[in-house]
Each structure stands twice: as structure tokens, then as C-alpha cells.
Amino acid sequence: MAALKYAGMDDTDSEDELPPGWEERSTKDGWVHGYVHEEMKTQWEHPKTGKKKRCAGDLPYGWEQETDGKGQLIYVDHINKRTTYFDPRQAFTIEDVQVKPKRYDGNTAALEILQGRDLSSKVVIITGANSGIGFETARSFALHGAHVILACRNKSRADKAVDLIRQEWHKARVEAMSLDLGSLRSIREFAEAFRAQKLPLHILVCNAAVSTQPWRLTEDGLESTFQICHLGHFHLVQLLQDVLRRSAPARVVVVSSESHRFTDLLDSCGKVALAFLSPPQKEYWSMLAYNRAKLCNILFSNELNRRLSPHGVTSNAVHPGNMMYTNIHRSWWLMTLLFTLARPFTKSMQQGAATTVYCAAAPELEGLGGMYFNNCFRCLPSPEAQSESSALSLWELSERLVRERSAAPRPLG
């Protein structure tokens, strides 16, 4: 108050009342500012509250805004036949409140992030969406009006997941389609079936993954963890890139893991080595294969964003959270036992899906990509995951593998 008194602003009763010598005016588009006659200056913030205001609504009936001979705005009341420099709407001004995006964390649920959102204009594809994080992601989008496609290898389980969502809301626009990421042929068939629907595609969530798998080659002759977690998604985006571009702004979210920090992909020449990604059986360790595939996810997301962001398609990678019970480890009984014992202390599936949903739908992330998120916060991935040369090397290797093992490749970017 001492500062106000010194400035001659303490002799008014109301906080909103202007000090002596001040006049409140408005611009043509309704923004209110103060004019100090003695100093002949304009100030946009209120001298006492420090807040900005603007006029709400239209001029009252019978009023018209004009300009006098000096170019100053005047307001003509045609009914009472009078003219004034005072904007009658200033009696109903509202504060210009800057609404800051809500902060989310590891305890946030996916549904909380979408609260109040209308996504009825969005089409979403989520791979591996019949259970776990993928299901909760699909459920969250469907319950907010989006047209959601569950792209799953097991069609019967996907149909059951669709039924569960429709039981919760009978108007949910949700469907299941067959997609086996371990088969380039299946990926092409899925892409053709989706394109035949002539739908846009605003959000593509690359969620499907496997972990702790015994060594197995896919029908395309590649180690299954690498193909399902990375190469299958690479080819899927490759086949749908033109749909994403036509639907811009569009987003791709690639589900990775903090386990990407415990490995690398480069050979002695500094190139991404296929021998590391698809090793022979005698050199295979399931956890290392998973870690490498998750590192591929981030490198792929970064390079995808670099290539497609100029066309309105952004890509981000996410870690869904630590200590979360899923069935991704179902192939290894010891890991299943450990997670079963730890289940009371793990995150829920809704919490696990939150970061994916945040990156896929948060308004504040519109147009932003090439980032890595953990618990809804942006964080730095490992130095290997930030390497642009590694991302490019992986991209070129992936293109070559698809070209060699697929009859009809589509160049991406």
C-alpha cells in the first residue's frame, strides 16, 4: 500500500477504480487499456491490479462503433441520439486470464487427461490394444468420442475388448482389426483394409510389444522381438504415412521404455548393426533384445518426426512408467512371478496409459515432436537415443529390410 500511496493510487475505494488522471479506453477489437492524461501514455495493465481486461460480447442494441476526424474511436447511441468516447461494453469487462496447462505426473490417470474433451472428430489406431496399456488407451479415447481401431494379432481377444468398451458406453465408436506385426504381409493387409475405409488418421499409437520371448524367427526371417517392437511399426507407418499427412495435424506416439538406457546398437564402424538387432540363437538374450528394440523405438520416433513434421505429422516416444503390471512378460515365468508379488505396489493400467494419452492429445503439444516423455514429463533419453546419425542409420537399415523382404515397399518421408 505504501507504493500505491506514493504513486497517488490509494485514494480510491475499489480495487478496480482508476487513480486520478487516468481514463479507461478500449480498442476496436475490445481490449481495454488505461490512458494517463498528464503523461499522455497508454498502459495495457490496470495500474492497481496489474491485470488485462477486454470487453465481453457485442455492442448493445442501437449502438455503433465509428471513428472521429482524429481517428479516435467513438460510440454512437442511435436510440438516444448521443455520442461518447466510452465503450458501453466496459461496464461488463472480463479479465484476460491465462489458463496454464494442468500439470500431470505418474499418479495421473488417462481419463483425467481427457476430461471434458470432445474427440468425436478424431480417428485413432492403437496397436496391441486388446489388453494392458493399449486397452486403457483405446478405452480412454473411445469414451471421449473418438473413432478407435484396435489393431491386434488376436482378433477374438480384440473383439472381447471392443465389447467391454461398448458395455461401458453403448455409443462408443470402436472396432477391432487384425494386425500381426511379426508379418510384413499382415501389415500390408491391415493397411489396405484401413485405407479401403477412406478414413482420416489423426493419432497412431505404436504400442504393441513383446518381452522375455524365447528366440524365434518371424515368417520374414527376423528375430521376433525386433520385428514386433520396431520393424513392424516402421512398416505400418510407412504404409499409412500419406493418410497421416492428409489428416494433419496428426500425431504418432511410440511406446518405448526406460530400459533403452542399458544398451547400444552400433558396430565398430559406428553403424546400427543388424547382427545386434536380429542375432542368431546362440547370441540371443531376451532382455537385451527388448532393450535394443526399445532404443530403436526412440530413434525411429525422432527420425520420423524430422521427416514428417514439415507436413504436419509429429512423433514422440514415451515410457509408460516404472513398476507396472502387464502381461508383456508372460513368456518368462520368473518375471511373471516377480510382477505378481509386486502388483500391490505397481501403477494401474490407467496410470500407465496416461503418458501415451498425454502425448497423443494434449493441446499444448500440438505441433511439437521429437521428444521423449516419462510420467507426462519431458525428459532426456540416453545419449545413444539422441544420436541423429544412429537414427538415420537405423532408418536406412529398416528401409532396406522392408525392401528386401516385402514385395511392394513404400518410401517414407
- Active-site annotation holds for 104: no
End-to-end CA distance of the chain: 61
Residue written as cell 507504493?
3
| Catalytic entry in 75, 104, 290, 372 | 290
> What does the block give as the cell for 108?
495421473
| Beta bridge partner(s), residue 73 | 67
Contacts (Cβ under 8 Å, ≥6 apart) of 222: 231, 278, 401, 405
Which positions are catalytic?
290
